[in-house]
A and B are shown apart, each in its own frame.
Chain A
């Protein structure tokens, strides 16, 4: 069998090689995880030869994705290998560092070993352990103190037809008072339905007074089985904004977690989901208020059609001592089909008295009276539903501060709606 007994990268510092070995042991020891509403065993993920390393394939990455003129920096990973890494001259001059994680590992082993794996625990489950053991490359972004990167940094994770397993990692370090927006997209050929396991992690260290925004658009090809873990830590007065969208893949077990570690830290979290056919999304959005005077605003809206299934678990945890915090969450789902299923599970764990916390969740079918009203003005049913779906998702999309991300999400929504029309479900 060609499965590498243990993957090591050339010149990998001992400390990282040791961790990789430990992760590999964990991976071997951990079972396929049990998730309450996602029967993972039945998906037979182990039948995917995902430990086979796939080669980088730049040719397969659509030309339009290889560069991003409006970005301050742009990285393309093909099957987990960095194939493009560009940083604008202005960003470079200001001391911003954007590089391949493999390269960073031996150029700056101290920094990488300090932060890599400091937030996403290797033993979260078998697939985070797989990511820690089998990662080949990823991205390191460091924004120095006081530097505001005006344009976003864009990262494309391309999953090609030859890949069986893809394990990228992203590490974002924003120093004191720095500000940066990172946009990660997970993409592949929408007509490619071969099975591939994708396990990616993103870690964000938002230093005191910094403002980091991380957007993640999941539009993986239809055969993908994805595990996407994102975790950030916001220090004193830092702000960490998440915008995530789940549109692709057969299975996506994803989520983001924020520790509001020190006083004055803030986070916003906006998630848009559109499930169709037999897609299965299992998303965890979590925020832990540790410091006092911390605030969180979590909103998710999803549209489910076909026989798709979604689980959205929102958790706002307020630890003792996190007084004067404000934690809100709201999850809403629009059901386009009686065969689709959505569970929104909001929860609050509160261990301090002097706080404000609120949560709400709802799900319902399309408003037939609204369809009738629109039809009474000459709008055909499919167009009316199209309008209502956009109208439903709009309020969350429009909260996302970056126009470029809003546009990407609208394009993804367009594509989904187009697909639904093709299937005749509208």
Chain B
């Protein structure tokens, strides 16, 4: 089977009637790592949530396909079963549902009802993934994200990714709120799952995580569009120079200069 391909074409999205994405185009194939960077409020999470089908984001134009299939016509749960995963910037707390029970239900949703995952097999896999991410096994029996610290929630997102084995994963600021060691542990966990069968889109503000997961492409999102794409060196430039030069590049030189 050919590797996965997520294609976002000229995407327009509005939140409560306000346009946020204004013609964003991006393609991710299996084996590739794309980093998306950009100032606060430019639409990065909007892109991520729209890919997943969050009910608050209205697509007003453009398309998203996974392996040529129209993703926008699919419900969120079907998108996930088709191989999409989103590690959320702000994961929800789900009271009363343990992490283990939730993950088992999510795995079983991908299997034949007559062939649920065996408990022992599941437990072993869960323990293994928890070890990779240095998560205490006790977290499996805690209610999903309830009372988790910011960093614990982020690890829990990646834990889910390791178990659900997506084909395209979007990681939205998975490094925010993590201490320096945790960034390394989580990033190495992600990096270890790199394969031709997995395409990664990493939304971040920091260079650090990209030291562990070397991106093939770096994109800068500004005002709802990808305004610049390049290789890993682009992230380094941003780290040292910030976004000001991008803004300047975008503003036509004529403006403000004497005629």
Chains A and B belong together in one complex = yes
A residues whose Cβ falls under 8 Å from a Cβ of B: 367-370, 372-381, 383-384, 387-388, 390-395
Q: Which residue of A lies closest to B54 (CB)?
A: A372
Give min CB distance, A400 to chain B, whole Å. 15
State which of B54, B106, B143 has its C-beta within 8 Å of the C-beta of A378.
B106
On chain A, the residues within 8 Å of B143 by CB distance are: 391
**1/0 per residue B37-74: CB within 8 Å of A?**
00000000000000011110000000000000000000
Report yes or no: A374 in contact with B75, Cβ–Cβ below 8 A.
no
Interface centre among B55, B77, B88, B101 (most CB of A within 10 A): B77
Query: What DSSP secondary structure best describes chain A's contact surface?
Result: helix
CB within 8 A of A388: which of B79, B96, B109, B164? B96
B156 to chain A, nearest CB (A): 11
Shortest 6 CB-CB contacts between residues of A and residues of B: A391-B96, A378-B80, A375-B76, A377-B106, A391-B97, A373-B92
Contact of A387 with B110 at beta-carbon distance under 8 Å, contacts A370-B92, A373-B92, A374-B94 already known: no
- Can you give 17 contacting A-B residue pairs, CB < 8 Å? A370-B92, A370-B94, A372-B54, A372-B76, A373-B94, A374-B105, A375-B77, A376-B88, A377-B80, A377-B164, A378-B106, A378-B110, A379-B77, A379-B105, A380-B77, A381-B75, A391-B143
Task: Kindly supply a per-residue 1/0 record for chain B positions 88-127, scoring 1 wherever the CB is within 8 Å of any chain A CB and 0 otherwise.
Answer: 1001101111000111011001100000000000000000
Residues on A with C-beta less than 8 A from B105 are 374, 379, 383, 387
Measured in the bound complex, the distance between the Cα atoms of B81 and A339 in whole Å is 33
What residues on B are CB-neighbors of A394 within 8 Å?
A: 96
Q: Residue on B with the closest CB to A389?
A: B96
Does more than half of chain B's interface fall in helix, strand or loop, or is it mixed? mixed
Q: Is the CB of B95 within 8 A of A392?
A: yes
Complex contacts, B221 vs chain A, CB 8 Å: none
Q: Which residues of A contact B52 (CB under 8 A)?
A: 376
| Distance, CA A118 to CA B164, complexed state (A) | 61
CB pair A378–B94 under 8 Å, yes or no, is: no
B residues near A383, Cβ cutoff 8 Å: 105, 109
Say whether A377 contacts B102, CB under 8 Å: yes
Report Cα–Cα, A383/B102, bound state, in Å: 10
The answer to whether B102 touches A395, judged by C-beta atoms less than 8 angstroms apart, is no
User: Which of A367, A373, A384 is the one whose CB lies under 8 Å from B91?
Assistant: A373
Nearest Cβ in chain B — how far from A34, in angstroms? 38
Closest to A369 in B: B92
Does B96 contact A381, Cβ atoms closer than 8 Å? no
Is B160 part of the binding interface, using a Cβ–Cβ cutoff of 8 Å? yes
- Chain A, Cβ-Cβ closest to B93: A370
CA A368 to CA B96, docked complex, whole Å: 15
Residues of A within 8 A of B129 (CB): none
Q: How far is the CB of A301 from chain B (nearest CB, A)?
A: 10
How far apart are the CA atoms of A391 and B103 in the complex, in Å? 14
Asked whether, in the complex, the Cβ of B91 is within 8 Å of the Cβ of A379, the reply is: no
The listed residue with most B CB atoms (<10 A of its CB), out of A369, A372, A392, is: A372
What residue in chain A is nearest B160 (Cβ atoms)? A377
B92–A395 CB distance below 8 A: no
Given the complex, which residues of B lie within 8 Å of A376, measured CB to CB?
52-53, 76-77, 79-80, 85-86, 88
Mask: chain B, 129-166; 1 = CB below 8 Å from A; 0 = not: 00000000000000100000000000000001000100
Per the bound structure, the CA–CA distance linking A116 and B253 in Å amounts to 95
Residue of B75, B86, B92, B101 with highest tally of chain A CB at under 10 A:
B92
Known: A372-B55, A376-B52. A388 touches B81 (CB 8 A): no
The CA of A372 and the CA of B92, in the complex, are separated in Å by 9
CB neighbours (8 Å) of B85 from chain A are 376-377
A268 to B55, CA, bound (A): 41
Chain A residue, CB-CB nearest to B92: A373
Q: Are A388 and B106 in contact (CB under 8 A)?
A: no
> Given the complex, which residues of B lie within 8 Å of A373, measured CB to CB?
88, 91-92, 94
CB B67 to nearest CB in A, in angstroms, measures 17
Q: Tell me how far the C-beta of A233 lies from the nearest C-beta in chain B, rounded to whole angstroms.
A: 34
With both beta carbons as reference points, the residue of chain A lying nearest to B95 in the complex is identified as A391
Other than the given A373-B94, A376-B77, A377-B106, 6 more pairs (CB < 8 A) read: A373-B88, A374-B94, A376-B52, A376-B80, A376-B85, A377-B164
Nearest opposing residue in chain A for B106, CB measure: A377
- Decide: A378 and B164 in contact? CB cutoff 8 A: yes
Inter-chain CA distance A384–B96, complex, in Å, is 12
Q: Separation in Å of the A98 CB from the closest CB of chain B?
A: 37
**Smallest CB–CB gap between B98 and chain A, Å?**
8
Q: Identify the closest chain A residue to B163 (Cβ).
A: A377
**In the bound complex, do residue A375 and residue B94 qualify as a contact, i.e. CB atoms below 8 Å apart?**
no
**Do B55 and A379 touch (CB < 8 A)?**
no
| Whole-angstrom CA separation of A391 from B106 in the bound complex | 15
Closest Cβ–Cβ distance, residue A273 to chain B (whole Å): 16
Nearest Cβ in chain B — how far from A421, in angstroms?
Answer: 13
By a CB distance below 8 angstroms, the chain B residues around A367 are 92, 94
Instruction: Report how far A370 CA is from B55 CA in the complex, Å.
Output: 12
Most chain B beta-carbon neighbours within 10 Å: one of A377, A381, A384, A391: A377
A378: chain B residues within 8 A (beta carbon): 77, 80-81, 106, 109-110, 164
Contact flags B148-187 to A (C-beta < 8 A → 1, else 0): 0000000000001000100000000000000000000000
